[in-house]
């Protein structure tokens, strides 16, 4: 009784699990309806078996781990491909927490290409002060990007205007564009307009972190994977103390109000929000 677990939980009062593959460090939920999900969604860490567990980091862990695991996978994939020979990596929606984790990870890596962060003009100062981007450019200054350099893009925004503009200006120098998220969720990429047509779709690839995680489980084994990701997460968590403020809100009504602000893009990127229901 009273054991603490870390993993993916639904927003509900209770959850019935059927633990299998049980070790001192964790287990897998063996429920039939979850068996076809990527394994990462069904794995639970037993914090009693984590020798480095620090209860004071619970909030940061819950906020950043699900995002920064994608950051880790992106860093690892880019390094594994030697950045495709690119001279610059352009990260779109640079104020997002996944983007920050990616930029910090790349900045810690020897021989990484130049890291360019694209963000809104209102977030330019915040992103610049993070110190993990070599250059920060606002969306209204896209023409200042050096389109003569071989480039890999990592897109967290999903904006056809940004993608079409950059793909068009970079042309053959755009080696690959990894699409990861849609912070500009209401701006669908379509082929019906000029900007949509400018996208180099044969060089655009959706990046699915769970598939990369499964690959690394096979390559490194469970312990090897955990060692590498824990090292990455610890560094990112420590760095988050310099820029992220944890905000707690109570109740479903406050949650809905906060959610609406997130949808409207009216949230301070410095904040990490914990909802208590």
Residue 180 CA to its chain's centroid (Å): 8
In this structure, the answer to whether residues 47 and 130 fall within a common structural domain is no
- 240 lies in a domain? no
Tracing tokens 């460090």 back to the chain, one arrives at 25
Q: 10-19, 148-157, 209-218 — which one is most confidently predicted on average? A: 148-157
Last residue within a domain, chosen from 209, 234, 253: 209
pLDDT of residue 183: 59
Q: What is the CATH number of the domain that holds 143?
A: 3.40.50.720
Q: Count how many domains the chain has.
A: 3
In this structure, the answer to whether residues 183 and 254 fall within a common structural domain is no
- 238 lies in a domain? no
Let me know: does 152 contact 84? Beta carbons within 8 Å: yes
Classify 118 as helix, strand or coil.
strand
In this structure, the answer to whether residues 135 and 20 fall within a common structural domain is no
pLDDT of residue 197: 52
List the one residue out of 138, 146, 135 whose CA is nearest residue 93. Answer: 138
Mean pLDDT of 11-32: 89
In this structure, the answer to whether residues 198 and 252 fall within a common structural domain is no
In this structure, the answer to whether residues 110 and 162 fall within a common structural domain is yes
Q: Could you say which DSSP state residue 49 is in?
A: G
Tokens standing for residue 152:
């890999």
In this structure, the answer to whether residues 153 and 73 fall within a common structural domain is yes
pLDDT category of residue 189 using cuts at 50, 70 and 90: very low
Question: pTM, whole model, 2 decimals?
Answer: 0.89
Residue 260: half-sphere exposure toward Cβ, Cα within 13 Å: 6
- 41 lies in a domain? yes
In this structure, the answer to whether residues 181 and 95 fall within a common structural domain is yes
In this structure, the answer to whether residues 85 and 34 fall within a common structural domain is no
Residue-by-residue DSSP string for 174-217: EEEEEE---SSTTS---SSSHHHHHS-GGGEEE--HHHHHHHHH
In this structure, the answer to whether residues 252 and 191 fall within a common structural domain is no
In this structure, the answer to whether residues 49 and 85 fall within a common structural domain is no
pLDDT of residue 160: 83
- 43 lies in a domain? yes
Helix (H) or strand (E) holding 151: strand 151-155
Dihedral (Cα; 240, 245, 250, 251), 10-degree rounding: -70
Burial of 20 (0-12, 13-18, 19+ CB in 10 A): exposed
pLDDT category of residue 194 using cuts at 50, 70 and 90: very low
Residue 245: half-sphere exposure toward Cβ, Cα within 13 Å: 7
In this structure, the answer to whether residues 31 and 140 fall within a common structural domain is no
In this structure, the answer to whether residues 94 and 147 fall within a common structural domain is yes
- 60 lies in a domain? no
pLDDT category of residue 124 using cuts at 50, 70 and 90: very high
pLDDT, one tens digit per residue, over 22-80 is: 999 899 999 999 988 888 889 898 998 888 888 888 999 999 999 999 999 999 999 99
Q: Please give the residue range of the domain that contains residue 13.
A: 1-53
Q: For 276, phi and psi rounded to 5 degrees?
A: -105, 120
- 106 lies in a domain? yes
- 215 lies in a domain? no
| pLDDT greater at residue 49 or residue 129 | 129
Tokens standing for residue 36:
């076809």
- 272 lies in a domain? yes
Residue-by-residue DSSP string for 228-276: HHHHHHHHHHHHHTTT-EEEEEESHHHHHHHHHHHHTT-S-TTEEEEEE
Residue 13 has pLDDT above 60, yes or no: yes
pLDDT of residue 93: 95
Q: 86-90, 106-110, 129-133: which has the minimum mean pLDDT?
A: 106-110
Residue 243 has pLDDT above 50, yes or no: yes
């Amino acid at each position: 009784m009273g054991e603490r677990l870390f993993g993916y939980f639904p927003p509900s009062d209770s959850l019935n699990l059927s633990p299998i593959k049980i070790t001192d460090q964790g287990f897998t939920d063996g429920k039939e309806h979850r068996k076809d999900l990527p394994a990462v969604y069904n794995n639970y860490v037993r914090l009693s078996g984590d020798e480095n567990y620090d209860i004071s980091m619970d909030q940061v862990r819950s906020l950043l781990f699900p995002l920064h695991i994608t950051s880790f996978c992106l860093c690892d994939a880019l390094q594994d491909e030697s950045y495709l020979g690119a001279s610059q990596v352009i990260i779109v929606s640079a104020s997002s927490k996944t983007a920050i984790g990616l930029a910090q990870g790349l900045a810690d890596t020897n021989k990484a290409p130049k890291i360019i962060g694209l963000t809104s003009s209102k977030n330019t100062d915040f992103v610049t002060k993070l110190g993990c981007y070599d250059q920060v450019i606002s969306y209204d200054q896209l023409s200042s990007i050096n389109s003569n350099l071989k480039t890999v893009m990592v897109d967290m925004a999903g904006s056809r205007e940004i993608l079409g503009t950059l793909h068009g200006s970079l042309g053959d120098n755009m080696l690959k564009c990894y699409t990861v998220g849609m912070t500009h969720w209401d701006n669908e990429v379509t082929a019906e307009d000029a900007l949509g047509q400018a996208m180099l779709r044969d060089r655009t690839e959706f990046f699915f972190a769970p598939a990369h995680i499964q690959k690394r489980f096979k390559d490194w084994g469970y312990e090897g994977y955990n060692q590498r990701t824990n090292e990455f997460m610890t560094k990112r968590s420590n760095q988050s103390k310099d820029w992220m403020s944890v905000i707690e809100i109570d109740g479903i009504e406050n949650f809905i109000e906060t959610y609406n602000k997130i949808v409207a893009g009216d949230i301070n990127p410095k904040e990490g929000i914990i909802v208590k229901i």
